[in-house]
């Protein structure tokens, strides 16, 4: 049996099933999955096989079952035998999972021997991917090998009828990992349950505590203490970027935010992601957690330790990655105190090693269904089927929100969120992830797929890898990732809206209407380009892009009268002379420009801030769009100059920035409808795939989906994979696999 069949209670399930049907034989783990030999009457064997297929354990995923008929040996009894590492690695590693109801009941039961033990788990829950060093999945191949089972735990571990049979992280206070708490100045130190209580008390007092979780360190403080939140912002140099909040239970979340059915399902799922939720009006006092926004990221406890901290401490706690800006989440205790020096007041650590670092996942409900924004804990390393097989490929992704992807036997394995590759630590994490994922999958890639951008660090790695290279255009990869997620390969109209990506000729794209499939693409249309005066500086200072939009549209520049004249004239000169001012069609830059002209945001402190805030201030309801024109050329151009002139008039008339924001969103949605209609007239295509970071924008995405659906289009959107650059590697891998498949087919 192949698939996710190790670490999920599969062997005890088989043992129970064999006993139920009075069958003899054996079951074991090997490199390919689970091997079963079962003997008995034909009718019983048929019922046994039917049950294997129809009712596997809850967290198992059976991809295939190969069945052979063998001569009967006359054996008696059914055995679970030791694993063998033969046949090559083909099984899948399970995802980390939140505590199950049985473990939580024991955790809170004073009569249970694991009462308040923060590492409680069983075959239905607990850490998996973060612990595994190698396959088959056995304790000796995990970071739990350092802990010898006590007599009581050994009996559970070896009893096929116990729910902890071969639960590899199985442990108790007598034999498992333990906690320690210490203040940064060394004036307090506690162990065991006293460490949990001390950490919870420190959080309640408004101190910042670094907490070692299953995938890395988190920084925690009281979410209801504005001064504590501000201290955390100051120490992390994070003035505006939202913080995620962990809540004791769903009732606490509902006091703060509106929770839809889809949001509740995501919040309570075994993955326990951060879910972006609309704030209740009465909760705007918590706005300091997400400045300028009307939404907040909230999650439920994802480990037993978190349950205890939330039970003993404040009901709402900020939980943010334990790192400095541009660094990956910290996992190494030997260096974490130095890395978090000046940030954390205290440290709550444990002695179980983290083999694979893993951030919290983030989802947002769009059009009634959860959509991945950051794919990590709880979802990785689940496989995504591809329409094509072929040799193994490693795809290196983008440079921002990086994730990598490796293919094996017609499946893609998208890694956890790695982040921005700007720092040496982040690039080291990138290289580490490629190596670990490849080893777990048991593959040595033959090809490397990479972005066309010559300055991407991920591209540099690909160029120096020694593998045969396949360059993939950024926006083609975006659309291909959406197609791969839906198991599609036929031509679609692709709308790829993001900030900036490299075009085939080195020009800057980002507002693209494509006709494409996995094999190739053509550019059918695009947004009118804007000048980026100062290149990266224009992204950090949206007023530069706003000024470029006004100049291009021939509109008055009064929106920027408050900008120092010398600075404004310098930017005008740069744009006029095309000095360090490349033209870019990026949709994200248009959001920046409108936000700046409307007076909302002149400079940003985190990626996408202007666009996120522009969405946040737009009121609900129907709003008249601004004028927009589709130029009759090939490829056609979506001319937003009339829109800019309308926005400038509204801004000069002191129309509310929220009204301008709502009208702009409606304008862009209707411009997309007109664009895909034109492509449909030319090609007859009706499927439309939406991808790129701009489709994280709930207001834009839902309006576009509504308009296109009403007009008879089939709309494909991301669900399991982020529409942002976190999904690019999947698209690169799918395109590369398609090209290799076609080459092999055509000889």
- Averaged pLDDT for residues 352-366: 96
| Half-sphere exposure at residue 719, Cβ-oriented, CA atoms within 13 angstroms | 14
The first and second tokens of residue 460, run together, are 């540099």
Name the DSSP class of 559.
Answer: G
| Model pLDDT, residue 329 | 87
Reading the block at residue 185, the tokens are 């100045």
Task: Give how far the C-alpha of residue 729 lies from the chain's centroid of Cα atoms, to the nearest Å.
Answer: 12
Per DSSP, the residues of 214-250 read SSSEEEEEETT-HHHHHHHHHHHT-SSSPPPEEESSH
What is the C-alpha separation between 245 and 447, in angstroms, rounded?
Answer: 41
**C-alpha–C-alpha distance, residues 341 and 131, integer Å:** 27
Q: Count the neighbouring beta carbons within 10 Å of the beta carbon of residue 70.
A: 9
pLDDT, mean over the chain: 94
pLDDT at residue 85, as a whole number:
67
Q: What tens digit of pLDDT does each residue of 702-733 get?
A: 999 999 999 999 999 999 999 999 999 999 99
- Same topology, domains 2-80 and 525-716? Answer is no
C-alpha angle 229/231/237, rounded to 5°?
A: 100
pLDDT at 283: 64
Confidence of residue 55 (pLDDT cuts 50, 70, 90): confident
- Residue 538: helix, strand or coil by DSSP? helix
Helices (H), 473-512: 474-485
pLDDT value at residue 288: 84
pLDDT tens string 557-599: 999 999 999 999 999 999 999 999 999 999 999 999 999 999 9
User: Which residues contact residue 728 at a Cβ distance below 8 angstroms, ignoring those fewer than 6 apart?
Assistant: 397, 398, 403, 451, 474, 477, 478, 481
Task: State yes or no: pLDDT of 298 exceeds 90.
Answer: yes
CA atoms within 13 A on the CB side of 513: 25
Q: Cis peptide leading into 24, omega within 30 of 0?
A: no
Whole-angstrom distance, CA of residue 495 vs CA of residue 474: 12
Please tell me the distance from the alpha carbon of residue 313 to that of residue 31, in angstroms, as a whole number.
Answer: 44
- Other Cβ atoms within 10 Å of 19 Cβ, number: 14
Per DSSP, 28 falls in state: E
More confident residue, 615 or 65: 615
Residue 87 pLDDT greater than 60, yes or no:
no
- 606-626 mean pLDDT: 96
Residue with tokens 């972005």: 451
Q: What is the pLDDT of residues 629-665, one digit of tens each?
A: 999 999 999 999 999 999 999 999 999 999 999 999 9
Q: What are phi and psi of 674, to 5 degrees?
A: -60, -40
Provide the residue count of the chain: 747
pLDDT bracket for residue 501 (50, 70, 90) = very high
Q: Is 614 helix (H, G, I), strand (E, B) or coil?
A: helix
At residue 454, the 3 state secondary structure works out as coil
Tell me, what's the pLDDT at 57? 83
Look at residue 335 in the predicted model and tell me its pLDDT. Answer: 80
The answer to whether residues 305 and 211 touch, using CB atoms and an 8 Å cutoff, is yes
What are the structural domain ranges in the chain?
2-80, 179-363, 383-472+726-737, 525-716
DSSP SS3 for 712: coil
Q: Which residue has the higher pLDDT, 281 or 533?
A: 533
Q: State how far the Cα of 327 lies from the Cα of 423, in Å rounded to an integer.
A: 6
Q: Is 22 exposed, middle or buried (0-12, 13-18, 19+ CB in 10 A)?
A: exposed
Q: Which residues contact 719 (CB under 8 A, 6 or more apart)?
A: 369, 370, 371, 372, 485
Taking the CA atoms of the chain, what radius of gyration do you get in angstroms? 27
Instruction: Measure the CA–CA gap between 11 and 327, rounded to whole angstroms.
Output: 40
Percentage of residues of the chain with pLDDT beyond 90: 82
> Would you tell me how many other CB atoms lie within 10 Å of the CB of residue 63?
17
Q: Name the CATH topology of 179-363.
A: DHBP synthase (3.90.870)
Give CA–CA dist 401/370, Å, rounded. Answer: 19
Q: Which CATH superfamily is domain 525-716 in?
A: ATPase, nucleotide binding domain (3.30.420.40)
The reported pLDDT for the residue numbered 592 is: 98
| Three-state DSSP class for residue 586 | coil
The CATH number of the structural domain formed by 383-472+726-737 is 3.30.420.360
What is residue 75's predicted lDDT score, i.e. its pLDDT? 86
The structure's pTM equals 0.93
Residue 394: pLDDT band (50, 70, 90) is very high
* Digit-coded pLDDT (tens) for 431-459: 999 999 999 998 999 999 999 999 999 99
Tell me the β-bridge partners of 716: 689
Beta strands in 552-640 (DSSP E): 583-584, 629-631, 636-639
pLDDT for 600 beyond 70: yes
Question: What is the rounded CA–CA span in Å between residue 142 and residue 129?
Answer: 9
The listed CATH number (3.10.690.10, 3.30.70.100, 3.40.50.261, 3.90.226.10) that belongs to domain 2-80:
3.30.70.100
Phi-psi group of 434: left, alpha or beta (phi > 0 → left; psi -120 to 50 → alpha; rest → beta) = alpha
198: enclosing H helix or E strand: helix 192-204
Cβ density class 27-36: b for 16+ within 10 Å, e for less = bbbbbbbbbb
Average pLDDT, integer, range 511-525? 97
């Amino acid at each position: 049996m192949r698939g996710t069949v190790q670490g999920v209670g599969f062997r005890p399930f088989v043992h129970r099933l064999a006993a139920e049907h009075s069958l003899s034989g054996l079951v074991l783990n090997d490199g390919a999955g689970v091997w079963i030999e079962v003997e008995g009457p034909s009718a019983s064997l048929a019922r046994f096989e039917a049950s294997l297929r129809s009712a596997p354990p809850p967290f198992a995923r059976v991809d295939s079952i190969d069945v052979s008929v063998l001569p009967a040996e006359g054996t008696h009894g059914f055995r679970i035998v030791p694993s063998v590492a033969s046949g090559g690695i083909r099984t899948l590693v399970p995802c980390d999972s939140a505590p199950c109801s049985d473990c939580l009941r024991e955790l809170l039961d004073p009569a249970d021997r694991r009462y308040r033990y923060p590492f409680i788990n069983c075959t239905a829950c607990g850490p998996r991917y973060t612990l595994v060093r190698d396959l088959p999945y056995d304790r000796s191949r995990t970071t739990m090998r350092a802990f010898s089972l006590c007599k009581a735990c050994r009996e559970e571990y070896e009893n096929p009828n116990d729910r902890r049979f071969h639960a590899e992280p199985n442990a108790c206070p007598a034999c498992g990992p333990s906690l320690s708490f210490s203040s940064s100045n060394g004036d307090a130190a506690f162990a065991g349950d006293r460490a949990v209580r001390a950490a919870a008390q420190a959080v309640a007092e408004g101190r910042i505590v670094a907490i070692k979780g299953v995938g890395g360190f988190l920084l925690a403080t009281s979410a209801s203490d504005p001064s504590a939140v501000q201290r955390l912002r100051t120490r992390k140099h994070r003035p505006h970027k939202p913080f995620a909040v962990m809540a004791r239970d769903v009732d606490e979340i509902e006091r703060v935010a509106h929770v839809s059915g889809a949001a509740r399902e995501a919040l309570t799922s075994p993955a326990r992601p951060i879910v972006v939720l609309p704030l209740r009006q009465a909760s705007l006092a918590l706005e300091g957690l997400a400045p300028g926004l009307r939404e907040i990221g909230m999650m439920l406890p994802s480990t037993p330790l978190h349950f205890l901290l939330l039970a003993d401490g404040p009901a709402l706690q900020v939980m943010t990655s334990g790192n400095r800006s541009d660094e990956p989440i910290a996992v190494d205790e030997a260096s974490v105190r130095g890395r978090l020096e000046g940030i954390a007041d205290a440290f709550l650590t444990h002695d179980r090693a983290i083999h694979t670092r893993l951030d919290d996942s983030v989802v947002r409900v769009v059009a009634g269904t959860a959509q991945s924004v950051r794919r990590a804990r709880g979802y990785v390393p689940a496989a995504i089927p591809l329409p094509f097989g072929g040799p193994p490929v490693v795809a290196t992704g983008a440079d921002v929100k990086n994730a990598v992807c490796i293919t094996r036997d017609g499946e893609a394995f998208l890694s956890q969120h790695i982040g921005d590759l700007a720092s040496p630590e982040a690039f080291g994490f990138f290289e580490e992830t490629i190596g670990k994922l490849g080893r777990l999958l048991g593959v040595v890639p033959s090809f490397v797929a990479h972005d066309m951008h010559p300055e991407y660090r991920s591209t540099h790695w690909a160029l120096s890898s020694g593998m045969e290279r396949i360059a993939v255009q950024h926006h083609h990869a975006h659309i291909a990732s959406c197609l791969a997620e839906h198991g599609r390969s036929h031509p679609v109209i692709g709308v790829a809206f993001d900030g900036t990506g490299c075009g085939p000729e080195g020009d800057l794209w980002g507002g693209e209407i494509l006709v494409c499939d996995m094999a190739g693409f053509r550019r059918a249309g695009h947004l009118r380009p804007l000048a980026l005066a100062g290149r990266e500086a224009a992204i950090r200072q949206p007023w530069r892009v706003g000024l470029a939009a006004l100049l291009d549209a021939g509109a008055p520049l009064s929106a920027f009268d408050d900008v120092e004249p010398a600075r404004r004239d310098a930017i005008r000169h740069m744009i006029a002379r095309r000095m360090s001012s490349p033209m870019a069609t990026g949709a994200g830059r248009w959001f920046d420009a409108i936000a700046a002209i409307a007076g909302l945001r002149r400079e940003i402190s985190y990626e996408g801030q202007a666009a996120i805030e522009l969405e946040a201030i737009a009121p609900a309801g129907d709003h008249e769009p601004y004028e927009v024109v589709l130029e009759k050329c090939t490829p056609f151009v979506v001319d937003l100059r009339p829109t800019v002139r309308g926005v400038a008039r509204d801004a000069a008339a002191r129309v509310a920035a929220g009204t301008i924001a709502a009208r702009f969103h409606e304008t862009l949605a209707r411009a997309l409808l007109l664009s895909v209609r034109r492509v449909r007239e030319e090609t007859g295509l009706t499927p439309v795939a939406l991808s790129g970071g701009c489709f994280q924008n709930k207001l834009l995405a839902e309006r576009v989906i509504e308009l296109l659906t009403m007009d008879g289009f089939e709309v494909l959107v991301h669900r399991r994979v982020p529409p942002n650059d976190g999904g690019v590697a999947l698209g690169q891998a799918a395109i590369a696999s398609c090209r290799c498949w076609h080459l092999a087919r055509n000889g």
